[in-house]
Amino acid sequence: MHVLNFVWVGVFFVALPLTVLCSVWRAYRVARKLRERGLRAQGTLVRVKHGSIDGYTYWDVDYVFHPPGGPEVRGSYQHPEKEARPIPRQGDPVEVRYLPDNPRWNQVEGDETALSTRVLLTAIFLTVLGIVAFGLVRQLN
């Protein structure tokens, strides 16, 4: 096999999946820490902007909250338009869960579905990548 093929296979089938897995693992660890040690604070929606990509409509929502004794912290999330929750409006209150030792790690209450979606998409991506790798290896033999 040509050296360039080894490099391509190494990047595409080793480095890329490891990067994706590390990203998902980090998000999972933060979500778990928020569930176990997170504190709650009242926040306020400061910007709500409607968006759409390929038929998927959503609201980009920015919020701000003040942890006790700390500076103002800003965060954002996407609110799917089809979701049952009410449409977010600027000025609405929002419950935020944050890590006391690092309030920049925070999440709006009820937004836990973002992690499960990320894990599902990663599983699909790695499955497809594995099928392609299997087919490539069989073709090379």
With bands split at pLDDT 50, 70 and 90, how would you rate the model's confidence at 115? low
Residues 6+ apart with CB under 8 A from 73: 64, 65, 66, 67, 98, 103, 104, 106
Q: In Å, how far are 23, 37, 105, 121 from 29, measured between CA atoms?
A: 10, 12, 11, 17
Q: In Å, how far are 9, 38, 74 from 32, measured between CA atoms?
A: 33, 9, 21
Task: Give the rounded percent of residues in the chain with a pLDDT score beyond 90.
Answer: 33
With bands split at pLDDT 50, 70 and 90, how would you rate the model's confidence at 128? confident
Whether the predicted pLDDT of 92 surpasses 90: yes
Q: What is the mean pLDDT of residues 89-101?
A: 95
> pTM of the prediction?
0.69
Dig out the tokens for 132 from the structure: 């392609």
Mean pLDDT of the chain: 83
Nearest CA-CA partner of 52 in 75, 82, 74, 76: 82
Dig out the tokens for 86 from the structure: 């009410």
More confident residue, 1 or 131: 131
CB atoms within 10 A of CB 21: 12
With bands split at pLDDT 50, 70 and 90, how would you rate the model's confidence at 123? confident
Whether the predicted pLDDT of 111 surpasses 80: no
Instruction: Give just the sign of the alpha carbon dihedral 134, 135, 137, 141.
Output: positive
